[in-house]
Amino acid sequence: MTDKAPVKLKIPRQDLDQHSLFPLTLEGVQSWSNALPVTNTREVAQQLRVAIGELNRVTLPAEQRYAILEAMRPNLKVATASLSRRFINQPLVLPAEPQQMAELADQLFGLASTAYTLVAVHAIRHRESIRDVNPARLVCEALQRAVYFTGCKIFQRFQLFQPEENRAWQTLHQLYALAERQQLTQLRINGMLQESTTITATWLQPLLLACCKPNQLRQGDLAAIFQGLRQWSGLAPVSAGGEGLFAVDLSGDQPPTYTNSVRATASRDLRLIDTGPLVAHLGELAESGEDSSRQDIVFANDVRLHHNILQHMIVSLSSVSTRNFSRQSLQQRLHVALGLNSTHYFVAGGLTFAEVLNGKGYRPPVSERMVTNPFLVQRKRRDPWLEAYADDIYSGEQQPDPDDSSDAKSVEVDEDTRAVLLAGHDQPQPEPQAQEEERHREYQVTAINASPGGYCLEWQQDQPAAIRSGDILCVREEEGGSWVIASIRWLSQLAGKSSILGIELLSPQAAAWGARIQNPKGGLSEPIRVLLLPGIKLVAQPPTLITPRSGFREGQKLTLVRHGESKNIRLQRQVAATAIYSQFEFLEAGSPAQAKPREERELPGSAFRSLWSEI
């Protein structure tokens, strides 16, 4: 159509006649690739960066350039995957070396996208000179790969919670617009992993990820969603008219937005994305299996999409999020303790876990304190809140069972030897209270705005390495004030070394307890830290229990222990779950079943309904 806006893509000038690293033949590039030091990831990535950057300046026929790029693609794939392992699961503000790896991967994605864009542009301009391949298929495959690598740049920014790069979205949209001009968007081809795909499906993969509120998700969740969308993105039709929850402007440099916010400024470059069929498919996946509440989707390489993340996708892709509260700007210093273990410690008033269970001032027997002597340590189940790394619990990786003694070697110690070993520990040992105070830390951060639903925090200095979306924390406004329980809802990294955290208030107070899981065959597990959140009658919110993410499920019987007292409960409906914790309603043994329906408990006016989930 003649009324379409021109496609604007930046490509380098081809001012070289030959390549300095290898002959411009398929055999030449394969020989060079085979000589790369595959055990040195940084060196391989740097050589690929130089090689592709120089190739983008060499004058070549489109089909010859494409063949050379396809020969280099396996090394490029391995290099970027190896680089990503160097900067994933790192502190939010990356140290120097992981930051360099991230920048190198970003550059490789950008250079590869440009290289394939050159193939498509030259094939379109010189269609008549192409003899050995179908020109339309060559253009289609080159554009699909250019879209793929541009999407990888955007995905990496999401994973690192970094601001979007200038022109990344515009480049992605303009590549799709070029494919649309050539009527190639729905032509099925083999993708990067030899899967059957289209340019539209590849283009939609980062777009739909952007619609899923990526700043609320963890790096592993983002990887699972991105991999799932490789299979499912084709289920979302794209049109220039009709219906669609999301819209994208092909001439702009922005991710998708809600259609109702752009109708008044609709242009000829506006495309609507109908997520209805995709949501229906995700709903079927969520309901599949014998116990739909616990079903996870496992992709290749053990990448796991957990059920609660699948529900997050369904909600994000099926409805318009609106803010329930207005935010008020402020500059206020807050005291923050991060993590499940530290939250339990501060909520308990600085008591050790043993004191929470047995009473203030309790000291365990000498034999239980000698953790440095392997002959005197009794094997027992460890507290996952204290020792488990959150990503290990949530990634689906197999972790060793602390109770599994199949490979353990039993060492018998006679009484005389044991007495000698005990005598060796008569010197003063660190007090449990001093150990706890050293382990748990209280930070001071600045709240830059607030609402009835939570705070927005700016963490400028002294950031802990374990800041992650979905973590529990406790907050108080002043020294001596009460601790408020909250959860990190979203993260964003600013220029420099500061980060922005959106936190959702869960409860104005909590009680620290220990929980023993009742074995159906008899017996109790070792105590595990839990938090009991009181009910709020004003909004018909019943009491709930915060537990570790792993090991707890609906219908389970627990014995809660505190200060030598105990009570039995049964876990009811799971009302929330993140990578770190689960939140359950519960019933005490002997109490009548709750008669109020679910709809009455979830009143829309709840003071603790999430504001930050709507961002």
Mean pLDDT value of segment 268-296: 83
Dihedral Cα 35, 38, 44, 45, nearest 10 deg: 140
Dihedral Cα 21, 65, 52, 193, nearest 10 deg: -120
Q: What single letter denotes the amino acid at residue 236?
A: A
186, pLDDT greater than 90: yes
Mean pLDDT of the chain: 83
412, pLDDT greater than 80: no
Instruction: Give the start-to-end residue ranges of the domains of the chain.
Output: 1-185, 208-321, 511-614
408, pLDDT greater than 70: no
pLDDT tens-digit map of 237-250: 999 887 899 999 99
Greater confidence (560 vs 418) lies with: 560
User: In the block, which residue shows the tokens 């939010």?
Assistant: 92
Question: Residue 417: which pLDDT band, with cuts at 50, 70 and 90?
Answer: low
Mapped onto helix, strand or coil, the DSSP state of residue 164 is coil
Greater confidence (608 vs 450) lies with: 450
Position 131 scores a pLDDT of 85
Position 6 scores a pLDDT of 78
Give the separation between CA 543 and CA 535, rounded to whole angstroms: 4
pLDDT tens-digit map of 354-402: 999 998 888 777 655 554 455 544 554 555 544 444 444 333 333 334 3
DSSP code of residue 255: -
Question: Residue 549: which pLDDT band, with cuts at 50, 70 and 90?
Answer: confident
Give the separation between CA 23 and CA 18, rounded to whole angstroms: 8
Position 580 scores a pLDDT of 86
**What are the residues whose beta carbons fall under 8 Å from the beta carbon of 246, sequence distance 6 or more?**
207, 211, 256, 257, 258, 259, 272, 273, 275
**What are the residues whose beta carbons fall under 8 Å from the beta carbon of 67, sequence distance 6 or more?**
26
**What are the residues whose beta carbons fall under 8 Å from the beta carbon of 194, sequence distance 6 or more?**
none
If residue 280 lies in a helix (H) or strand (E), which one and from where to where?
A: helix 276-287
427, pLDDT greater than 60: no
Position 60 scores a pLDDT of 95
User: In the block, which residue shows the tokens 């997520």?
Assistant: 275
Position 589 scores a pLDDT of 80
**What are the residues whose beta carbons fall under 8 Å from the beta carbon of 301, sequence distance 6 or more?**
none
DSSP code of residue 532: E
Greater confidence (410 vs 323) lies with: 323
Mapped onto helix, strand or coil, the DSSP state of residue 112 is helix
Greater confidence (614 vs 477) lies with: 477
Q: Could you report how far apart the first and last alpha carbons of the chain are, in Å?
A: 38
Q: Rounded to two decimals, what is the model's pTM?
A: 0.79
Rounded alpha-carbon distances, angstroms, from residue 437 to 345, 347, 386, 440: 9, 13, 14, 5
185, pLDDT greater than 90: yes
Mapped onto helix, strand or coil, the DSSP state of residue 168 is helix
Mean pLDDT value of segment 190-215: 93
How does strand 443-451 pair with strand 484-493? unpaired
Position 294 scores a pLDDT of 58
543, pLDDT greater than 60: yes
Position 267 scores a pLDDT of 77
Question: Residue 276: which pLDDT band, with cuts at 50, 70 and 90?
Answer: very high
Instruction: Tell the CATH topology of 511-614.
Output: Thrombin, subunit H (2.40.10)
Position 593 scores a pLDDT of 54
Phi and psi (nearest 5°) for 443? -105, 160
pLDDT tens-digit map of 8-35: 898 999 999 999 999 999 999 999 999 9
Position 370 scores a pLDDT of 52
User: In the block, which residue shows the tokens 């709930």?
Assistant: 544
Question: Residue 474: which pLDDT band, with cuts at 50, 70 and 90?
Answer: very high
602, pLDDT greater than 60: no
459, pLDDT greater than 80: yes
| Residues in a beta bridge with 446 | 333, 458
Q: What single letter denotes the amino acid at residue 271?
A: R
DSSP letters of 110-145?
Answer: HHHHHHHHHHHHHHHHTGGG--SS-HHHHHHHHHHH
Closest CA to 299 of 236, 399, 221: 221
pLDDT tens-digit map of 285-307: 988 755 444 568 888 777 889 88
192, pLDDT greater than 90: no
Least confident of 10-24, 138-152, 565-579, 597-611: 597-611
DSSP code of residue 430: P
Position 85 scores a pLDDT of 93
Identify whether the C-beta of residue 503 lies closer than 8 Å to the C-beta of residue 457: yes
Mapped onto helix, strand or coil, the DSSP state of residue 354 is helix
Give the separation between CA 108 and CA 106, rounded to whole angstroms: 5
Q: What single letter denotes the amino acid at residue 77?
A: K
Mean pLDDT value of segment 498-507: 90
Identify whether the C-beta of residue 503 lies closer than 8 Å to the C-beta of residue 578: no
